[in-house]
Amino acid sequence: MRYLLLVLAFFTVSETIHAQNSNVTPDETRVYAEKDGEELYLDVYKPQGSYKEVKPVMIFMHGGGFSGGSPKNESLIKLAKVANKRGYVSVLISYRLTRKGKSFSCGYEASGKIETFKKSAEDFMDAVLYVVNNSEELNVDTSKIVVGGSSAGAEAVLNAVYNSSLMFDDMAKYSKVNISGVLSLAGAVVDVRYITEQTSIPAVFFHGTDDNLVPYATAPHHYCAETEPGYIYLDGSRTIANKLKKNNSSYLLYTYDGARHEISGIQFDQLDETFDFFDRILSGEKSIQIELTK
């Protein structure tokens, strides 16, 4: 019942979300790109105190099956404010919802899923690049960039970070981007074998062992049958953490035994531990490997 309530809360219709947040205003809203006739924007929330002092930044990408969701989501704004209290500039980004009104499940061909991952990963990296290029105005320390995402957003972020050679034809465009840490809520990558020692960026993972959409370890996306058009294997949090461990990189893995895709919601009870982990990473600590079961 607890997990069912979390699912219902997470997938609240967008109109309700906007109504709940009608009085919430970011410190800045900026357009970082225009694609397919749509302005893509980022909402910036700044910590209290001197705006002249550069701060670490957390850039987060919402979920919604590549068909819905918004940076205006109440829980994401709450996350942004928690990050502010920890001294981070928070940036919540919009991106192209290429599957709006369409399926992203077993009836949608695997090649289309890969293309969806590529477009969302591109939008994510363009947003990060915008923050880097405008770091002086935003008072952001570009050597301390933490990125994250939930569900579809986590898939986009993880593929951009760990499967960049599959997502981008030319990474030179993003040569100025140096990501220090990753926060993933129920995310996965196309192929963990492409993660090298050089790209093993420290990460915090949240995932349920019985996630019915995005596999906890390695399994077909949405558990599609081999005969269905949308059959494609993905490597989830468990498999990515194993790879980081093998590469002697840092990670914090929260495993929720028996939980399903509701773990894509922000796990507020664990945020102090999460930011403690990132603080240690940003201070230069190496090879932190922690696994916790909830």
Q: What percent of the chain has pLDDT over 90?
A: 89
DSSP, collapsed to helix, strand or coil, labels residue 152 as helix
Sheet hosting strand 89-93, strand order edge to edge = 28-35, 38-45, 89-93, 55-61, 140-150, 181-185, 203-208, 251-256, 289-293
Task: Report the CATH number at residue 144.
Answer: 3.40.50.1820
pLDDT at 71: 98
Write the pLDDT tens digit of every residue in 77-100.
999 999 999 999 999 999 999 999
pLDDT in tens, 142-165: 999 999 999 999 999 999 999 999
Domain extent, residue 163, equals 2-293
For residues 202-220, average pLDDT = 98
The pLDDT of residue 20 is above 80? no
33-48 tens-digit pLDDT: 999 999 999 999 999 8
Domain count, the chain: 1
Percent of the chain with pLDDT over 70: 91
